[in-house]
A and B are shown apart, each in its own frame.
Chain A
Amino acid sequence: MNIRYLLTFLLVFVFISCEKVVDVDVPSTDPKLIIDAAFEVYFDENPVTTNTVVKLRLSADYFETQIPIVTNATVFLTDLSNNNIIDFSDSNLDGDYEPINAFIPADNTIYELTVIYDNQVYKGTASKMKSPTFTSVVQGDETLFSGNETELKVAFKDDINEENYYLFDFTNNLFLAIEDRFFNGADYNFSFFYDEEELKVPTAVKIKMSGITKEYYTYFRVLIDQSGQNAGGPFETVPSSLLGNMVNTTNTDNFPLGYFHISETDTFTIFLEDKN
């Protein structure tokens, strides 16, 4: 939970403050390759399914309405335990590369993702992170600030034997990254609140819990912060570049953005009523 966000919330709502959209001239920079490859293995489903899409995009000026897609890259995955190669292709020409032959990432295996684009070779590695399943997901009756939020109560059991990091996807681009530092091995429960602007109830939502690496946790925490979805105001951290784990092996200075990560993911679909 981002405490600064709460402070900002107070600042904005407690005082006679206002937010307005302003025109700003922003600087520009050369486009960078974006490699968005967060593989999810839905391990609790039978049969097990996966999401193994590698999205390739280019960065754009901040106020551009279109984000360019990359369709002419070569993408493949190497299983470093046996050097088997899994080829990816963008059959729809939408910048989303999928394995030609569906595959399920194995346990305890390091995979190397290679992207060749514009005569430059980008590489990064990942291996699958374990995740528990939800013990329960229910709608609550509480509200947070405005009295119009919808409460979602989430519970799961943390593994006592290791440091765990989790990424929750509450749909509508609402993410939460947490670590088990304060609840190692516990039956942990917490509440997530949907603001009325973020989610119109009644509706069904599909939420996801993924086990993630410490590095991805650090990365995603900043990503959420910088996306501005739950921050802003004077208490925001001084923004800085956010580098992932992909390296441009041809020219390290022309670094890409994005991340290559493989997680086990549990999903839960719940129908949320309008209780207010």
Chain B
Amino acid sequence: MSLKKFAIVSLLLLSSYVFSQEKITLSGTVYDNSTNETLIGVSIYFPDLKSGTTTNEYGFYSITIPKGTYTIQISYLGYTTIVKEIVLNEKQNQDFKLLEETESLDEIIIESDIEKLNVKTPQMSVNKLSASTIKQIPVVLGESDIIKSIILLPGVTSAGEGASGFNVRGGAADQNLILLDEAIVFNSSHLFGFFSVFNPDVIKDVKLYKGGIPARFGGRLSSVLDIYQKEGNSKNFKITGGIGLVSSRLLAEGPIEKEKSSFLIGGRASYAHLFLPLFDNDNSAYFYDLNTKINFRLTEKNNLFFSGYFGKDVFGISDNFINTYGNTVANLRWNHLFSDKLFSNLSLIYSDYFYGLTLDFVGFEWDSGITNFNLKYDFKHYLNDKFTLNYGINNIYIKFNPGEIIPNRPDSGIQPEKLIDKYANEFAAYVDAEHQVNNKLTFQYGIRFSNFTRLGQDELNVYANNEAVIYNQQLKKYESAIATGVENFKRSDVLANFSNFEPRFSLSYLLDDNTSIKMSYNRMAQYLHLLSNTASPTPLDVWAPSGRFIKPQLLDQYALGYFKSIKNGDYSLETEVFYKDIQNRIDYINGANLIANNEIETVILNGRARAYGLEVLLKKNEGSLTGWLAYTLSRSEQQTLGRNANEPGINQGEWYSTPFDKTHDLSINGSYQLNKKWTFNANFLFQTGQPTNYPVGQYEVQGLNVPIFDDNRRNADRLPAYHRLDISATLTPRKNKNRKWQAEWVFGIYNLYGRMNAAAINFRQNRETLRNEAIQTSIFGIVPAITYNFKF
């Protein structure tokens, strides 16, 4: 749809609903009764009107309906539904407090789309997980983990153990927007991806958008992982904790002023030296993170939140090698109600990612990172029960430190060098409408305008013909061009400027009360690129902004889905097909060195990517046995054409599999509650092996035996299929009843049948036999675990 048309349609739709009469507004906040924690996504439903709404990320709801007396139904999974009569004659503020269904720790909550409203809402391609579901999923070494849990959902994969990040619908790991309390988190992994940086005790709500992404999100192409931290119990002081094999957690929360303000402080630390007792050196490998939150309910209409996250990984091998990295996030938010229909949130966010390395035997220290300052102002305007408008602006200032080398001792001989810092500003404004046309048809449509300005930096290389990469016709290979000059800039100069309109559209059409079809289209722009040419991303990969040589990535995604709630919501079926087309996906020339490269433009080729597939999610939501089966059939490919007829591009310009192309991806998760005391859980995963490259031959140069790789068959081979079965059992002692100290034991076995899954297959000559060998690296065999959780 052209932009103009789109704007006109939006206006028409708007005007017909803005001027409604004889209606009154009911608004308020929904809380958990015992902790006073606000609840996200609670359904507020009027069965008489067949109309309703849900609470937003701050627990607020607002609905405008005709005057009258109605039955109101407030429901949220895991909580007792409130059904009551309500007389609505004038505008009314009404808060609700929901009671948890059970008080036990091991309660299983699987959020699902069983409420009618969810079948109705046009938002598709979204998965929700509650903290308690995440805690139930058996994971390696007993550490519950958000990222490991979302990998069990359809359309989400990872490169396996030892791989940072995750891939959504054939997208790269750098295309995920990971938000913690609205702040961008750049690195989601601890210990090379074995654990994610999110402490499960602190998490309130996790939502993963894979498609049909609303206009309020932008900046990354493939997904939005939207995570909210708890605010802290504003009624009672509580301690939650856990002791596991790898790490321990402790969380303290309580009121500052009862029911007015609260604090939360949570920490998690792994045991240093845990994996390294085998070596007698002074070695260490550990991570820790700290989550804090303070919130003040200033008045009925004003809330203030401060949240912070700090996480770090440290590896040290004696003094020779020290590797440190982590995220810091700080966020100040102000919720303000302009009226009972207009909710606003102003956020001031700081976030950074730091990577540091000391190599004493070479004599240097290396630092790199990215820092950003983000100002966001979001509005949610509940015009009436059929029409909600979201709009806002967002400005991010980003500083990139691609690296700095510093001598680490006086006799090192290394000279300090600073790679040129880069600066950019990303601005966005959006408007997005949720619009219920009639009882069957609901639209969500919007548009985001984004602008990216690459700001002046100290030096920028200039190349002949503006070509930073040249093709050597004689030697048949791409080579880095030599800069012909250097330009100097002031910070206020503009090196490059990009603007994009990103329309978003989705609709749902109800076939009957339990069945709907949904459709969505979204265009998105991503101005940042993670430079990585390894099979899976590493913590030392750096981010690069778009500019004169790197263009912004642009995505068009289409999705179509069929949703069915079976047996009154006991089962649900979600099927979707999607197609994604991405412009300006970068790849690298052969032999490119990305680390400490001040001229990154000289190793980059511009290409495109596409992905398409089918996802099926079948869930059982009720009963003592719950769980899901997720299956994805998909393809994810990349193409890098030559810039002219004389150049071959990559893979002779033919499409090739991305490193995260997984044809089949099956996961089954089941949870069985035997009795009050025992709950059992199991996962099974099967994934097509990761694309890889096998050598087509061998030769010898200078005594080195070298495999030959064929450029015409990039990523044409596959690692063996990845599969494993994990089980866990949760024991809740009977003693828990009627006492303050609540405890549970979680016993788990990861990779029950000890499958040695290949993380990589490498080829090399055996030093002793001088025979060539294929060496498979596997990370985890069978791993038992035990965790003790408590709260009081």
A233 within 8 A of B: yes
Residue of A nearest to B319 (CB): A142
Q: A7-B192, A190-B363 are in contact. Are A184 and B415 (CB under 8 A)?
A: yes
Chain A positions within 8 Å of B774 at CB level: 21-24, 26
A188 within 8 A of B: yes
Q: A21-B774, A34-B701, A60-B697 are in contact. Are A15 and B708 (CB under 8 A)?
A: no
Task: Select A26's contact among B280, B694, B776, beta carbons within 8 Å.
Answer: B694
The reply to whether A62 and B775 form a contact with Cβ atoms under 8 Å apart is no
Chain B positions within 8 Å of A27 at CB level: 694, 696, 710, 713, 717
Contact count A vs B, C-beta below 8 Å:
291
The reply to whether A238 and B776 form a contact with Cβ atoms under 8 Å apart is no
The reply to whether A242 and B536 form a contact with Cβ atoms under 8 Å apart is no
Nearest CB of A to B280, in Å? 6
Chain B positions within 8 Å of A182 at CB level: 364, 405, 414-415, 417
Task: Select A237's contact among B362, B415, B474, B533, beta carbons within 8 Å.
Answer: B533
The reply to whether B702 and A175 form a contact with Cβ atoms under 8 Å apart is yes
The reply to whether B538 and A235 form a contact with Cβ atoms under 8 Å apart is yes
Task: Select B413's contact among A6, A187, A240, A257, beta carbons within 8 Å.
Answer: A187
Q: Which of B102-110, B382-390, B489-497, B754-762 contacts A (4 or more CB under 8 A)?
A: B754-762
Q: In the assembly, what is the distance between CA of A223 and CA of B764, in Å? A: 12
Interface residues of B in 312-326 (CB under 8 A from A): 315, 317-318, 320-321, 323
Q: Which of A76-84, A105-113, A144-152, A265-273 contacts B (4 or more CB under 8 A)?
A: A144-152
A64 within 8 A of B: yes
B118 within 8 A of A: no
A42 within 8 A of B: no
A94 within 8 A of B: no
Contact with A along B342-367 (1 / 0, CB 8 A): 00000000000000010101111010
Nearest CB of A to B623, in Å? 37
A226 within 8 A of B: yes
The reply to whether B162 and A15 form a contact with Cβ atoms under 8 Å apart is yes
A47 within 8 A of B: no
A10 within 8 A of B: yes
Q: In the assembly, what is the distance between CA of A7 and CA of B714, in Å? A: 24
B285 within 8 A of A: yes
Chain B positions within 8 Å of A252 at CB level: 474, 476
Q: In the assembly, what is the distance between CA of A184 and CA of B774, in Å? A: 40
Q: In the assembly, what is the distance between CA of A233 and CA of B535, in Å? A: 9
A218 within 8 A of B: yes
Q: In the assembly, what is the distance between CA of A191 and CA of B318, in Å? A: 15
Task: Select A144's contact among B320, B417, B761, beta carbons within 8 Å.
Answer: B320
Task: Select A245's contact among B475, B592, B762, B778, beta carbons within 8 Å.
Answer: B475
Interface size on A, residues (CB 8 A): 96
Contact with B along A49-62 (1 / 0, CB 8 A): 00000010111111
Chain A positions within 8 Å of B763 at CB level: 62, 228
Task: Select B704's contact among A1, A15, A227, beta carbons within 8 Å.
Answer: A227
Chain A positions within 8 Å of B275 at CB level: 14-16
Q: A233-B760, A237-B534 are in contact. Are A22 and B775 (CB under 8 A)?
A: yes
Interface size class of B (residues with CB under 8 A): 35 or more
The reply to whether B540 and A3 form a contact with Cβ atoms under 8 Å apart is yes
Chain A positions within 8 Å of B474 at CB level: 247, 252
Q: In the assembly, what is the distance between CA of A147 and CA of B413, in Å? A: 25
Chain A positions within 8 Å of B194 at CB level: 15
Chain A positions within 8 Å of B709 at CB level: 226, 239-242
The reply to whether B764 and A234 form a contact with Cβ atoms under 8 Å apart is no
B653 within 8 A of A: no
Residue of B nearest to A14 (CB): B275
The reply to whether B534 and A4 form a contact with Cβ atoms under 8 Å apart is yes
The reply to whether B700 and A20 form a contact with Cβ atoms under 8 Å apart is no
The reply to whether B477 and A243 form a contact with Cβ atoms under 8 Å apart is yes
A19 within 8 A of B: yes
Q: In the assembly, what is the distance between CA of A14 and CA of B193, in Å? A: 13
Chain A positions within 8 Å of B704 at CB level: 173, 175, 223-224, 227, 229
Nearest CB of A to B532, in Å? 10
Q: A59-B698, A243-B476 are in contact. Are A233 and B762 (CB under 8 A)?
A: yes
Chain B positions within 8 Å of A57 at CB level: 699-700
Q: In the assembly, what is the distance between CA of A24 and CA of B534, in Å? A: 21
The reply to whether A247 and B405 form a contact with Cβ atoms under 8 Å apart is no
Chain A positions within 8 Å of B281 at CB level: 143, 145, 147
Nearest CB of B to A259, in Å? 7
Task: Select B321's contact among A6, A233, A238, beta carbons within 8 Å.
Answer: A6
Interface residues of A in 1-45 (CB under 8 A from B): 1, 3-4, 6-7, 10-24, 26-29, 31-32, 34, 36, 38
Other than the known A175-B704, A224-B704, what 13 A-B pairs have Cβ atoms closer than 8 Å?
A4-B595, A14-B191, A16-B783, A17-B777, A26-B696, A59-B697, A147-B279, A222-B590, A238-B659, A240-B590, A240-B711, A241-B590, A242-B706
Chain A residues proximal to chain B, CB less than 8 Å = 1, 3-4, 6-7, 10-24, 26-29, 31-32, 34, 36, 38, 55, 57-65, 67, 142-147, 151, 169, 172-173, 175, 181-184, 186-191, 193, 197-198, 218-219, 221-224, 226-229, 231-245, 247, 252-253, 255, 257-259
A and B contact pairs by CB, cutoff 8 A, 5 listed: A10-B317, A14-B191, A188-B414, A223-B706, A239-B707
